[in-house]
Structure 1
Amino acid sequence: MGLLNNKVALVTGAGQGVGQGVAFALAREGAKIAVVGRTLDKLLASCETIRHRGGVAEPFVCDVMDGAQISRCVEAVVARLGGVQILVNNAQVVPLGRLLDVSDEAFVAGFDSGPLATLRMMRACYPWLKGDGVIVNFASSAAVRWDASGYGAYAATKEAIRSLTRAAACEWGVDGIRVNAVAPHALSPGLQGWVDTHPQEAAEFFKTIPLRRIGDCERDIGRAVVLLASADAGYLTGATLPLDGGQAFWG
């Protein structure tokens, strides 16, 4: 029996990278996974891996920047899998760049895909989460970096998500819903590509991390999300869990 046996987990951005790793980890503990994202081929690949491991997974195409698609997605997940007990808001467009360079369009896309999508998805899942539900939102340590240059716009979107996380925890605790955030360093395909292309720069970056490595999407980030979603973290809500190997100082 897994820690999350027969629970339904909706994971956005689960076709690749950290979202996929989270989906794999939740499925390993018995959760049925709604694999949500924009690209069907990637969703099908994630589902195939989960099924090959003996888990249950179904793909759901959804652009989280579209509120109507979010509503239809949640309805489809409930119809096909029977409900939603775990929601993981991972998908987001990343507006990186220095303040004089980030376009208005990129900044707005960051907010539409980040805090606005997170709020919409939480609202859509709320009726199904009542009683014993868990939400895990994705924040970032970008706002507490030693040098925030080039990360200001991205950090702004992620800090907004942290604020929504705290508010939801306070407002929905009475409904039996726990809401936390994670702030990970995850070895996504994009980051792995940067490491491979810039090995010397990557080596210097690793030196700024006390554990001297970037977290594995499934073993490090996914397993931490499993903990937050399980009864073992049943008294934890409204918190941000740093998953960055000790790099950032949260105070």
Structure 2
Amino acid sequence: MSKLQGKIAIITGGASGIGKGMAMAYVKEGATVVIVDLNEEFGMQSIKELQAYAPESIFIQANLAEREKLAGIIDQVISKFGKLDILVNNAHASRIKTIEEATQEDFDLSFNTGFYPTFYLMQAALPHLKETQGKIINFASSAGINGDATQVTYAAAKEAIRAITRVAANEFGPFGINVNLIAPIANSPGMQAWAEENPEYYQAVLSKIPLRRLGELESDIGRVAVFLASSDSDYISGQTIMVDGGATKLR
């Protein structure tokens, strides 16, 4: 398996959950992965697993809300590897709040960890992705597409990410750079914890998924991320790919 042989990929939020699932899928396809995450403990554990497949993979501990340091992440990767082929903007933190409850602090958390890092990392990576005709994968959510209740700050940031991704697809396309979005429903640790606390609501969510299961981190979400990072997707750009078992059908 070598769809990504020799590629250098950055995955934010790569220490756990969907990010780790994608990272594992990438290294098994020959990529060297840089996982960027705030959680140093999880990051160090995950990088050891990745290095079993891709010994040069590294972990960068970073707080993506520190906007002034984002360009330095790209610089660090270029300094070490000399190039960048794939940028995956996966990290995002938010709070469950209704419109009535949401505060400026809640919006700041969602935009400072999701939207702004996506924008500034794309901006900083652009000169290097021009050289490699690389790939960008950003993350959307059905919470924004469908307007899920109690998800106002998360939904707002995710739809803002969708908007700038479409702009990037138009602006970066002439340089041979593909820019797409994944909108997943995943069997992540966070989802598992939520399901334990809300079993009835979880079953209601599951019943609305035609395939009647959550997506597996590596084999479902990770494989789509491999496709979007590989030459197999060279003629796809500006698209939101729903990796959600059929729960949302875009028109």
One fold, TM greater than 0.5? yes
Secondary structure of the 2:35 match is strand
Residue 239, structure 1, aligned to residue 239, structure 2: yes
**1:201 deviation in Å?**
3.2
Please give the alpha-carbon distance, in whole angstroms, between the structure 2 residues aligned to 1:121 and 1:243.
24
Alignment of 1:158-237 (within 5 A): 158-237=158-237
Residue 17 (structure 2) pairs with residue 26 (structure 1): no
Provide the residue aligned with 2:140 in structure 1. 139
- Report the counterpart of residue 75 of structure 2 in structure 1: 75
* CA separation of 1:136 and 1:64: change in aligned 2, threshold 3 A: same
CA RMSD of aligned residues (A): 1.5
CA offset digits 1:150-170 (Å, max 9, x no partner): 122211110100011000010
What 5-or-longer segments of structure 1 have no aligned partner? none
SS at match of 1:179: strand
Deviation per CA, 1:96-122: give whole Å up to 9, x if none: 211011121011221122221111000
CA distance in 2, matches of 1:200, 1:237: 38
**Post-superposition CA distance 1:31-52 (Å, at most 9, x none):** 1000111122211111111122
- What amino acid maps onto 1:143 in structure 2? G
1:173 shift after superposition: 0.7
For residues 153 and 35 of structure 1, the distance between their equivalents in structure 2, rounded to whole angstroms, comes to: 25
Distance across 1 between alignment mates of 2:73 and 2:42: 17
Contact 2:145 2:159 in 1 (8 A): no
* Paired AA for residue 102 in structure 2: V
Using the size of structure 1 for normalisation, the TM-score is 0.95
- Structure-2 residue corresponding to 1:14: 14
Distance 1:206 1:135 in 2: 30
User: Which structure 2 residue ranges, 5 or more long, are not aligned?
Assistant: none
**Is 1:45 the counterpart of 2:65 in the alignment?**
no
Distance 1:232 1:214 in 2: 25
State the one-letter code of the partner of 2:214: I
Aligned residue pairs total 250
For 1:168, give the aligned amino acid. Answer: A
Distance, in Å, in 1 between the alignment partners of 2:16 and 2:225 is 16
Instruction: Specify the alignment match of 2:120 in structure 1.
Output: 120
Cα deviations across residues 195-236 of structure 1 (Å, max 9, x unaligned)?
Answer: 234434322321110010111111111110100011111000
**Cα contact 1:186–1:216 (8 A) shared by 2:** yes
**Identity rate, percent:** 36
Tell me the TM-score normalised to structure 2 length: 0.95
Conserved in 2, the CA contact under 8 Å of 1:27 and 1:56? no
